[in-house]
Amino acid sequence: MFDALRRITTPASWARDTLERAHAALEAGDPAGARVIALDVLRRLPDHAEALQVLGVALHQLGYHADAQNALESAATLAPAHARIAYNLGVVRVARLDRAGALEAFRRAAELDPAHAGTLFNLGLLQSELGDNAGAEAALRGAHTNAPEDPQIRLRFAQTLLAEADRLGDANLNDEVIGLLAKDLDSPDPDARLRTLGLALAARTRWTEALTAFRAALAQSPQDPWLHNEIANVCNFLGLMEEAVRHYREVMQLAPDWPHASIALLGSLNYPDIDAQTVAGEHLRIGAAWASRTQRLSSAARARSHPLRVGYFSPDFRRHPVGWLFAPVLEAHDRSAVETFCYHSPPSPAHADDDLTRRVRNAAAHWIDAREWSDERLAARIAEDRIDLLVDLAGQTFGARMAVFAAKPAPVQASWLGYFNTTGLPTVDAFITDPHSSPEGQERWFSEKLVRLPDSRFCFVAPPHMPDPGPLPALSKGSITFGCCNHLGKINNRVLALWAEILAAVPGSTLLIQARALDDAPNAERIGTQAQAAGIPRERLVLRRFQPAELAARVYCEIDIALDPFPFCGGQTSLDALWMGVPVVTLPGELIASRQTTSFLANLDLSQYAARDAAAYRDTAIALALDTAALSELRAGLRARMQASPLCDVSRFTHNLERAWMDLCRGTDG
């Protein structure tokens, strides 16, 4: 009996047994009770580190964070090698917004106990908040390794990996995210899991699976504009343009100020088989809305500069069709007549600098990197540069800056090259086009004055990676291959039905389609099924995955005749086909989006391939296919014909463009 009493009154054992009751109180959700017990121990043993820790945790849970920090810092001084004290000190410092102190504490705790998942988890969260992405990934990876079944750690680790994948362009990290979340049905936040999974799947071009994830999230949050926007973007990639338009409209309804939703909507409207009146009306309505909510800058008429100060804005001074078409013109400008300012605003760091960016930068008299700038800052800079004529090379495409042009930072503004429809902005004065792209009467679809260059609205210089055309593929294959390398969203049921008639009339012929959206296997299966329903047998359809620019044009070495989709025809793809000796059969409509190929053919004296209606389109393609001798001769001479045409005469084109710039600015001379 006396031995038992002696053990009870031993300070160390008494404190240990007493603090066990305090820990039990904390676990039971009774921090007030734990505080009383810890204070009782500290009255007898004021330097007891564990009692100070329990007191600090209890005070923290009661909301007395300053007192909690004092207690835990005292405990850490008494027991510097105690990992849990360092961890709890970090937690309290986070509550007091002392991030630097918390970071120090968590790092110390991780050194003392490298396998404690909670420490590594909190360290990773804090590093992520402080912008140390690599550190956050390492800490959260350690937390997940030590607690692989913890769904909260797994989700946060996946979210950090996703951010790192985007920052580093590392596809393997996206694959790791997918592996972490694909079957994580016990996630503490199912909505966040589906969103993160969807983004990772989309980044790996697994768009159909991404669409499934985003749709599941939308079922839980049907009024979330972010989800509608992501679904619309994925549908855009897949070529599901009607669904994309529907979701972009939802974004605008739910969040009228959502960045770029209106731009994405207008760009998408060019794809479905929608009448010109509706498409133009939407552009004009949204353009007017941009103008009404944007503060105009003072850009009153002033004495015109000499040389003329011309500013070009684009997100696409890079490996992009706009970049390829623009660079030769910029290099050909007469510097005694035109002083060029290039305002570059790429959509992401991955697009910020490549060989074509450097080429444009070297050719520009002034280069302004505006990627990180707000619309207001960019507009102010343009005004400060005293630009005489500001030229938009983006229109309603990804990376556009409609608010900049709505602010009117230059006395004259024009739209050219990057878009094939009106901006709808009353502050943009002119749209650069040509007589073939814009016949008389097209003015009713534009808010801008149509300025028609004499030949074409742009010219073509073949990139160095374009191969030689080679002989007609049908001569060795023994049958005709029709082809289309356009965005899959341009290929609608009406197009497929007409192509089916052509294939049926040309024995043994096949149709080859190459598109980025075919990287997605379920989507390729969808297109195959859609084509079969339209009358194209599976065995006569070749679906080719996307190829990088250096390889993409080689597909024309397998194609005898290119079939243009409608109402949205080819642009760069038609130029590529013609350069490779492949004639393009097209069906022009009312808007420029349906007339680009028609303009190219007119400049080559090949307008017979621009059909007046669907029947003529079908008959033209069939006639070409049935005369392989004439087709072979056309292929052999088409590149030389193109080189000798206005389409490839950069000097002539640039002179005509400069004259248009001068004419536009003449009316603003002060």
Query: Where does 2-203 sit in CATH, by number?
Result: 1.25.40.10
Q: What is the pLDDT of residues 652-662, one digit of tens each?
A: 999 999 999 99
Mean pLDDT of 317-342: 96
The dihedrals phi and psi of 424, each to the nearest 5 degrees, come to: 80, -5
Class of domain 473-648: alpha beta
Q: What is the share, in percent, of the chain residues with pLDDT greater than 70?
A: 96
pLDDT value at 86 more than 70: yes
Sign, CA dihedral 391-395-398-399, equals positive
Domain boundaries, the chain: 2-203, 207-284, 308-452, 473-648
Place of tokens 């009106």: 422
- Structure-block tokens of residue 226: 């972010």
pTM of the entire predicted model? 0.87
pLDDT value at 298 more than 70: no
Angle between helices 321-332 and 650-666 (to 10 degrees): 80
Indicate the burial class of 641 (C-beta count within 10 angstroms; 0-12, 13-18, 19 or more): middle
pLDDT value at 2 more than 50: no
Query: Where does 207-284 sit in CATH, by number?
Result: 1.25.40.10
Q: Return all residues near 196 (Cβ < 8 A) that are at least 6 apart.
A: 155, 158, 159, 162, 177, 181
- Is the fold of 2-203 the same as that of 473-648? no
Q: How confident is the model at residue 350 (pLDDT cuts 50, 70, 90)?
A: low
pLDDT of amino acid 8: 47
pLDDT value at 668 more than 60: no
| DSSP per-residue string spanning 138-190 | HHHHHHHHH-TT-HHHHHHHHHHHHHHHHHHT-HHHHHHHHHHHTT-TT-S-H
pLDDT of amino acid 183: 84
d(CA 370, CA 165): 24
The dihedrals phi and psi of 316, each to the nearest 5 degrees, come to: -125, 30
Q: What is the pLDDT of residues 408-464, one digit of tens each?
A: 999 999 999 999 999 999 999 999 999 999 999 999 999 999 999 999 999 999 988
Mean pLDDT of 558-562: 98
pLDDT of amino acid 9: 52
Mean pLDDT of 571-594: 96
- Structure-block tokens of residue 99: 């991030």
Coil, helix or strand for 313?
Answer: strand
Going by C-alpha positions, the residue among 558, 586, 590, 589 that lies closest to residue 574 is: 586
Mean pLDDT of 154-164: 94
Q: Does domain 308-452 have CATH number 3.40.50.11380?
A: yes
- Structure-block tokens of residue 355: 């060989």
Q: Which phi-psi region, left, alpha or beta, contains residue 131 (left: φ > 0; alpha: ψ -120 to 50)?
A: left
Q: How confident is the model at residue 295 (pLDDT cuts 50, 70, 90)?
A: confident
